[in-house]
Amino acid sequence: MFDDRNEWMTRVARIGYLAKGVVYICVGAFSAMAAFAGRAKASDSRAALDKISEQPFGRVMLATLAAGLLCFVVWRLIEAIANPGEYRSGFKALVSRVRALFSAVIYSGITLAAVRTLMGGSSGGGGDRTARDSTAKVMATPYGSWAVILIGLGLIGYGIFQWRRAYRRSYERKLNLSTLSRDQHRWVTRICSFGLAARGFVFGIVGVFLIQAGLQSDPGEARGLSGALNALRGEAYGPVLFAVVALGLAAYGVYCCVKGRYGQLGTAAPVA
């Protein structure tokens, strides 16, 4: 773990993961409720922020959440710059830094959306609009369509990586669950694995749409999280699959909260 002088970094990380978990729990819960109500209209992070602001004491909750998300952005920037993680050098360390930087950029946007909502404005365009706009910018560059296809393949690969983590439960190496009872440990790992698998599935769908956008040179084919979920509606057993994946995203939120509470953050090896 970090030494005492850097203990504040660990606290920032834990708060950040808890805030990220709350966002995913809200996204999954709102989407699942819509599915069970027969509307099957998915929510994304920005829509979830708008709904939170409409609840009793919504502004207080939103302000707290915005502060927590800012902590997550700060932590991911620390990981990208100082790399206090498991891999200190080599290709895996480089990949870890790039992932951290990409995550910091994404959650900076979500944090700003929370602040705009808190100030009475709109949280901004939804995930689908953001995905289309970003895809259009990439396509405007030389070999942009090929770049979009490669990004799509990368997202599919990351989705498979999440599935692998869920199946092998490799994430447990970075969690200290020794204080939990056997039953608690079993249920926590089941929920975490379910959440990681669901998130990996969504990444795969988003990647497929990006590949389709690149092949057709049409940024309008790109989808964000909510678009990926909504795409399930037209498939066989679509509403059921939609609800299961939505609950899975809420389970991923639980995983983030578990990581915030029990994660061995900034360690190169598990703590006994």
pLDDT of residue 56: 80
DSSP 175: B
Mean pLDDT of 71-78: 93
Mean pLDDT of 250-254: 95
C-beta of residue 260 within 8 angstroms of C-beta of residue 163: no
pLDDT of residue 271: 33
Residues with Cβ within 8 Å of residue 115, at least 6 apart in sequence: 66
pLDDT of residue 268: 40
pLDDT of residue 22: 94
Higher pLDDT, 171 or 226: 171
Phi, psi of 175 (to 5 degrees): -120, 140
pLDDT of residue 225: 78
- Range with the lowest mean pLDDT among 15-29, 36-50, 103-117? 36-50
pLDDT of residue 4: 41
Residues with Cβ within 8 Å of residue 142, at least 6 apart in sequence: none
C-beta of residue 200 within 8 angstroms of C-beta of residue 105: no
Mean pLDDT of 40-63: 79
pLDDT of residue 93: 77
pLDDT of residue 272: 30
Q: What percent of the chain has pLDDT over 90?
A: 41
Q: What percent of the chain has pLDDT over 70?
A: 86
Residue 15: exposed, middle, or buried by beta-carbon count in 10 A (0-12, 13-18, 19+)?
buried
Contacts 24+ apart (CB under 8 A), 49-57: 49/23, 49/110, 49/113, 49/114, 49/117, 49/123, 50/117, 50/122, 50/123, 51/26, 52/26, 53/117, 53/118
Residue 95: band (very low, low, confident or very high) from pLDDT cuts 50, 70, 90: confident
pLDDT of residue 126: 60
Higher pLDDT, 129 or 182: 182
Q: By three-state DSSP, how is residue 60 classified?
A: helix
- How much is the pTM? 0.86
Residue 25: band (very low, low, confident or very high) from pLDDT cuts 50, 70, 90: very high
pLDDT of residue 267: 47
Residue 114: band (very low, low, confident or very high) from pLDDT cuts 50, 70, 90: confident
Average pLDDT of the chain is 84
- Range with the lowest mean pLDDT among 83-87, 161-165, 185-189, 251-255? 83-87
Residue 136 scores a pLDDT above 50: yes
Q: Could you read off the pLDDT of 173-207 as tens digits, one per residue?
A: 889 998 999 999 999 999 999 999 999 999 999 99
Residue 270 scores a pLDDT above 60: no
